[in-house]
Amino acid sequence: MVVKPKIRGFICTTSHPEGCEENVKRQIKFIQSKPKFNCKKNILVIGCSTGYGLASRIACAFGGDASTIGVMFERPATKKRTATSGWYNTAAFEKMAIRHNLYAKTINEDAFSQETKNKVIDLIKSDLGKVDMVIYSLAAPKRTMPDSTKVSSVLKTIGKEYTNKTIDLSNNKLSEVTIPCASEQEIEDTIKVMGGDDWKDWIEALKKANAIEDDAITVAYSYVGPEITFPIYADGTIGMAKKHLLKTANEITNTMDGIKAYISINKALVTQSSAAIPIVPLYITILYKIMKAHNLHEGCIEQMYRLFGEKFGDSLNFDEQGRIRLDDYEMKIDIQQKVLDVWKSISDDNINELADIDGYWKDFYEMFGFNFSNIDYNKDVNIEINVPSIG
C-alpha cells in the first residue's frame, strides 16, 4: 500500500511503517551518540509505544543496557488500514533490541485492567524474575473501571471558563477558544483516568506478586507550564489529576517500604496527547521558536536521556514539592518572558515569524512516520508488520 498522511483535527489516522522505524532508529542513534550510563536493568514501561514512554524505553535499553517489558494499547494493521504509529514504533524498537541482544517484550492490552497486570506479572516472573524500575507514562482518554463502568478524562477548566488565543491547526491561523468548566463528575473522572490510582495498583500488584525489587524505583510524568496555560493545564482537570499523581508518589514512597516513587516534570512537546489540549499547541510553537533560538530545544529522547542518563545517575535534585524538574530549560525566566512577550503580540500577520509552525508540523508528521527525507512515500510498503514478541 502507498501510505499518505490523513489528518483529522489533531490526529493523523494513518501511519507509515518505514517512517516510524526511521523515527525509532533516529532516537536510538541519538542515545548511542551519548556516553552509556548506569541505570536499573529490568524495567517495566507502562505506555511504552509513543512520546515520553517510547523515549524512556529507548534511552534505558540502548543507553543503559536494560531489559524492558512494555505495555501499550495500540492497533495492529488490517489488510486495508495501517496500524497506529505506536504499533510500528514498537515493532521497530523490538527489532532493533533483538539486533543488539537486548531483551524486549511487549503486551498490547489495556493497562488499567487486572488481567493485563496479571499477564505482565507472569511475564516478569518467567523472564526477568523481578523488575527494579517501573516507568508510568500513560496518557489515556478513558478508563474501564474494575466494575466495567467507563470513565473519560476531559480537558476543561475548573471554576470558571477561560478564553485565550489558540492555533487552528487546520489552517495555521490564530483564533480564540473558550474552554468550558468541568462538572464535579468530570473532575473526578479525569482524576480516575490520569491520576495515580492505577499507578499505585500496578506497584501494589507487583509487590504482592513478589515481582518488584524491594529497592525499586518508579517514575511518572507530569507538567506544570507557564501561567497562560494554568487554567487549561495546572489548574484545570488534568492538573487535578497530576496533583493526585504527586500525592500518589508520596503514598507509594511512604507505604511500600523501600520502593521510591518520583514525579518528573517534563517539557511541553508535540505528542499525540499534547496536540489534543487547546491553547497548548500555540504555546508549543512559540516555545519551540524561542528555545531553538537559544539552543535549548529538546525532544522526548533528549529529555529522557537527561532524566535517566544524567539526573538519575547523579544525585537527584528536587523542587520544593519533591519533583524532578526536567522542564528547567523551558521554565527559565528569560525564556518564559520572551514567550509571554510574543504571546501578547502574535497575530496572523506575524505568526510565521514569531512561532515555529514548521517545527510543530515537522514533529507532528514525524510522530506518524511521515516527512522523513530518506523515505520514499510513493513506494508500496507492507503495512502488516509484526511486533516480534506479539507475533
User: For ligand NAI, which is the closer residue by CB, 54 or 216?
Assistant: 54
At 357, is the secondary structure helix, strand, or coil? helix
**Catalytic site residue from 162, 221, 223, 233:** 233
State CA 26 to chain mean position distance: 17
C-alpha cell at 305: 536521556
Q: Which stretch binds ligand NAI (CB under 6 A): 23-31, 105-113, 332-340, 373-381?
A: 105-113
CA distance 80 to 370: 18
Residue 203 binding ligand NAI, by CB under 6 A:
no
363 binds ligand NAI (CB under 6 A): no
Contact with ligand NAI (CB under 6 A) among 86, 231, 236, 309: 86
Provide the minimum distance between the beta carbon of 195 and ligand NAI in the complex, in angstroms, as a whole number: 10
Residue 213 or 225 with smaller CB distance to ligand NAI: 225
Asked if 278 is part of the footprint of ligand NAI (rule: CB under 6 A), the reply reads: no
CB of 250 to ligand NAI, least distance (A): 17
Q: Is 221 in the site for ligand NAI (CB under 6 A)?
A: yes
Instruction: Classify 258 in phi/psi space as left (phi over 0), alpha (psi -120 to 50) or beta.
Output: left
**Residue 383: which of 87, 93, 97 has the closest Cα?**
87
Q: Is 233 annotated in the active site? A: yes
- Residue 271 lies near ligand NAI (rule: CB under 6 A): yes
Residue 163, C-alpha cell as written in the block? 478564553
Smallest CA-to-CA distance from 164 within 185, 150, 179, 152 is with 179
Binding residue (CB under 6 A) for ligand NAI from 272, 308, 324, 338: 272
DSSP secondary structure string for all residues of 104-139: EEEEES-TTSHHHHHHHHHHIIIIIS-EEEEEE---
Q: Does 153 bind ligand NAI (CB under 6 A)?
A: no
Pseudo-torsion of CA 236, 242, 247, 251, nearest 10°? Answer: 150
- What minimum distance in Å lies between the beta carbon of 12 and ligand NAI? 13
Member of 61, 139, 182, 304 binding ligand NAI (CB under 6 A): 139
Strand partners, 165: 176
Ordered alpha helix ranges (H), the chain:
17-32, 51-58, 64, 85-99, 114-123, 184-194, 197-208, 237-255, 280-293, 300-305, 333-345, 351-354, 357-367
Cα-Cα-Cα-Cα torsion 209, 130, 42, 95, nearest 10 degrees, comes to: -80
Site for ligand NAI in 57-76 (CB under 6 A): 71-74
What SS3 class is residue 2? coil
Which range of residues in 18-26, 137-145, 370-378, 383-391 is near ligand NAI by CB under 6 A? 137-145
Nearest distance in Å: CB 268, ligand NAI: 4
223 binds ligand NAI (CB under 6 A): yes
197-208 helix and 114-123 helix, angle to the nearest 10 degrees: 40
The CB-of-378 to ligand NAI minimum distance in angstroms stands at 28
Site for ligand NAI in 23-52 (CB under 6 A): 47-52
Residue 72 or residue 256: which is nearer to ligand NAI going by CB? 72
What x-and-dash track marks residues 110-129 binding ligand NAI by CB under 6 A? xxx-----------------
Q: Do residues 44 and 116 lie in contact, with contact meaning Cβ atoms separated by under 8 Å?
A: no
Contacts of 260 (CB under 8 A, 6+ apart): 215, 216, 217, 218, 252, 253
Stretch that binds ligand NAI, among 92-100, 160-168, 264-272, 356-364 (CB under 6 A): 264-272
Instruction: State the binding string over 283-302 for ligand NAI (x if CB under 6 A, else -).
Output: --------------------
Shortest distance (Å) from residue 140 CB to ligand NAI: 3
* Of the residues 67, 274, 285, 389, which one makes contact with ligand NAI according to CB under 6 A: 274
Whole-number Cα distances in Å, 157 to 4, 236, 291, 391? 36, 4, 28, 43
Q: Which residues are the active-site residues?
A: 233
Contact footprint for ligand NAI (CB under 6 A): 47-53, 71-74, 86, 110-112, 137-140, 221-223, 266, 268-269, 271-274
